[in-house]
Structure 1
Amino acid sequence: MAKPTIALVGGGQIGATIAQLAAQRILGHVVLYDVVEGLPQGKTLDLAEAAPIVNFDLRISGGNDISCIAGADIVVVTAGIARKPGMRRADLIEVNSRIMTSVAAGIKEHAPDAIVIVLSNPLDAMVTLCQRITGFPPQRVIGMAGVLDSARFASFIAWELGVSVRDINAMVLGGHGDAMVPIVRFANVNGIPAMDLLTRKYDGDRAKAQQVMNDLVTRTQNAGGEVVELLKTGSAFYSPAASAVAMVEAVLNDQKRLLPVCALLNGEFGVNGYYVGVPCILGARGIEQIVEFDLTEEEQRMFDHSVDAVKKLVDSL
């Protein structure tokens, strides 16, 4: 059977890492587009030369004209400037909006049937802009945020409890910013509530366990900035790339995975006309179902606050 083509728009750290992970998992042929002359060609040549060692038999190519993505089955957009220390995601909106406007027009022209996954920041605004310009059905234009934020939350819980990260289930909803909403009551270790295990760790002191969990929530909300402050010259790329590849794999292999992604809501969770992070079923058609559930009063308050931040950001477009 013919393999699908995965087009990556943006040849920086995230785009190149996605290319490597997608090739190693043999998800499909890979094409990397970037405006910097020689950059996508050099990175994909280097990756292609690793094929005999890693054992992937795929076409790997790069180009400086967006027409190189022609006919792609799935397009992952990472193009845009990255955060620097002291910057918020929202600070990127002016420059990255111009970049996304051009990129989305190119996708519309050269890959009109593709499913698009957007990683560019500020995420909620950029995925909105991409969908508006391409005119693609909303289920085919998806933002990557919740998968990454949930992975960060899960990691922090695992480290605090001293258990394997593989056994943690966690979910983060809302906008991809400081007001994101980790759903604490759903966090568990193979079905055992994380709060129960934290309480046991602190000898039954529920108040102490709650304070520790609050700290984990805050760290999750600021996790991207924590990496930026440490790197000083860039932002996270390994974990965003791995998160994007999980979504690509769910679509290309029609896995029907339930993942928190940025989706256009039309009444779900009380939101109309905005892209917000919520649980969705991802399959061959992109977002195949938005999965609603009842929020507690506190969760609803946090979610509404996060949505308000998204609205202000998107309305500034």
Structure 2
Amino acid sequence: MILITGGAGYIGSHVNKLLNNKGYNTLVVDNLCESKESSVKWGKLVKCDLEDREGLEDIFNTYDISAVMHFAAFTSVSESVKCPEKYMHNNYENTVNLLNVMQEYDVNKFIFSSTAAVYGTPESIPIKESHPLKPINPYGESKVHVEKELEKRSEDYGLHYVSLRYFNASGDDPDCEIGEQHNPETHLIPLILDAAIGKRDNITIFGTDYPTPDGTCIRDYVHVEDLAQAHLLAYEYLEDGGCSDVFNLGHGTGFSVKQVIEECMSVTGIKFEVEVGERRAGDPSILVADSSKIREKLGWRPVNSSLTNIVNTAWRWHLKLNFKNHHYFND
């Protein structure tokens, strides 16, 4: 059985669906503080916080766990700047607690949900896994701490892990069974779509003076279904005896904030107000992945990650979430 922490969340729920569709048994462990029980449509759900050592031990004692996929984390860069201790405790210290229980029960396969934020301001584009880890916000720092802990445990205790450094996770389940619904929402595309349906008065661009062609930040958007596929490949890699490793997950193409807004207007056919605000702390100008390593070593391909497909699937989910009988969803 594969244990999925944070499996009621955005990426975890998509991975849970894929694993079950492939015939794997899953156990979702989630405290539901930022996710919904309704997203766990496959496998079994146990409500537990990762700081609860006794609760975790009971789970590992009750279920035959063969591997852990670890998604549970706080992920807002802006919040991490305001509340760094909160991020270090939840993202790092709670992960150490989980790893300690895994070690106690001789579970040694671990797939970690990491982030491009570990790189900070990139020294070169596209970013390779060998790039120095110099995070510029506490969110990225918390993930670097976990990666260093994994490396140490791999050397000292024989932990076999894969760390997957996501670039911008985006898009939604094309079947519209699950999707992105953060509260509060912090991701760009659903915020733009909120403006498209009138849930927000406008969308704000945070900074137009970055050293990019149109002055707005550039990011590498990768569809959540492609991320899910990477987790399946990583699990199969470890099952086949693969050594601990780190991989970037990105499409390899960057789009600016303005380009994403324009694509959303094109897909929805709706014009909405766009405002310009000040830069946010902790936002690098450009983050684009070199994902050649996982393509070559695990055979991963981001086949769903065109910007148009990302926005289309996000738009269909957004309409279902907000207007369940909307004609777009029924088309």
State the TM-score, normalized to the length of structure 1.
0.41
Please identify which structure carries the higher helix content: 1
Bigger RCO (CA 8 Å, 6+ sep): 2
TM-score by length of 2: 0.40
